[in-house]
Amino acid sequence: MAGRSARRWVAAVPQQVRHLGAIFALLVAGLVGARQVLVPKTFGERGHYRAAAVDSIVAQEIGYAGHAACETCHPDIADKKGQSYHRGVACEVCHGPQAAHVLAPMDHKPPAPRERAYCPLCHGYNPSRPTGFPQIDPVLHNPVRPCISCHDPHDPTPPHPPESCAACHGEIARTKAISYHAELPCTQCHAVDRRHSVSPRQQRPSKPTTREFCGRCHAQDADSPPEIPRVDLASHGPGYVCWQCHYPHHPEAR
């Protein structure tokens, strides 16, 4: 009785709807089945993620020991670095994850990034780095030599550029020291930019170019101390610049 009325009811539904309904039912069943198989068991227990993921993360091996761990055995380096520009850069940033080294220092030797390509990862010029962050152009900044040949990685303060000219112009300084111009500083006759001592060939100092330059002290009417010997610029060795006869660094230049 019930079966027949149900069959009649089904027959009253248009054929299209029956067939479409079957397809949709299949699709929905497929989705439900796929969910059964594919959705991880613990999904949604605590949020929109697989709750067991937390356990599998906890189970991962720990690679990093943390900054404090290094200090106990390497206090000298930790102190040095703590005072330096690199105080904010943790040891394991450069030396890699070292939990294994902390447990067995002699068996696991940490690597050190000695090659030149490493430091520009942080210090290479990049317009999106904050203004004021020390940046260099790795191509132009003292090329070829490894960075650590000039900068101690644990205290990278830039090496002081030599202050005295003698560091590089030793011979001139030594001869000048016994010349009649010993009292005059080099900068009396050469205008030197600060950067000359960092990149000397790019920043050349000036050199005297005229007879009048020497005349500022040696001309008859020069406004200079009276003990300085005078000559008459107009008649004394005319046609030549003074240093063709008196090289001013040299003692014998008479």
Partner 1 sequence: MRPMQGYVYPNEFELHWGLLIVVYPYLTGLVAGAFILASLARVFNVREVQPVYRLSLLTALAFLIAAPLPLLAHLGRPERAFEIFLTPNLRSAMAMFGFVYAWYLMVVLLLEIWFDYRKDLVIWSRGSTGVLSLVRRILTLGATDLSEGALRFDAGAGKLITIVGIPSAFLLHGYVGFIFGSVKANPWWSSVLMPVVFLFSAIVSGIALMLLIFMISSLVRFKRVDMACMDKLAAFLMYALVVDFSLEMLDFTQRLYEAEESIRILSQMLSSRLVLSLIVLQVLVGTVLPLMSLALVAPTVRKQGLVKVPDELRRLIYFVVAVLIQIGIFSTRWNVVIGGQLFSKSLRGLTVYKIELLGIEGMLTAGAIVVLPLVILLVLVKLLPPWPDAEAGATAGIGLGLAVSPARR
Binding stretches for partner 1 (CB under 8 A): 14-16, 18-20, 23, 27, 31, 34-35, 38-39, 43-44, 48, 126-129, 131
For the segment 16-75, give every residue that binds ligand HEC (CB under 6 A): 65, 69-70, 72-74
Q: Which is nearer to ligand HEC, 51 or 122 (CB)?
A: 122
Chain-centre distance for alpha carbon 98? 23
Determine, following the binding rule CB under 6 A, whether residue 133 of this chain makes contact with ligand HEC: yes
- As measured in angstroms, the least distance from the Cβ of 117 to partner 1 is 20
Rounded CA separation 140/33 (Å): 63
Q: Is 221 in the site for ligand HEC (CB under 6 A)?
A: no
DSSP 244: G
Query: Given the rule CB under 6 A, which of 22-30, 31-39, 54-62, 203-211 is the region that contacts ligand HEC?
Result: 203-211
* Angstrom distance (rounded) from CA 158 to CA 120: 15
User: Smallest distance, Å, CB 113 to partner 1?
Assistant: 21
Q: Which of residues 142-181 bind ligand HEC (CB under 6 A)?
A: 142, 145, 147-151, 153-154, 156, 158-159, 161-162, 165, 167-169, 172-173, 176, 180-181
14 interface partner picked from ligand HEC, partner 1, none, CB below 5 to 8 A per type: partner 1
Q: Does 121 bind ligand HEC (CB under 6 A)?
A: yes
Per-residue DSSP letters for 184-218?
S-HHHH----GGGGTSTTTSPPP---SHHHHHHHH
From the list 235, 237, 239, the residue with the least C-alpha distance to 253 is 237
- In the complex with partner 1, the residue whose CB is nearer, 32 or 234, is 32
**Is the Cβ–Cβ distance between 202 and 143 less than 8 Å?**
no
User: Could you give the 3-state DSSP secondary structure of residue 25?
Assistant: helix
Cα distance between residue 105 and residue 128, in whole Å? 39
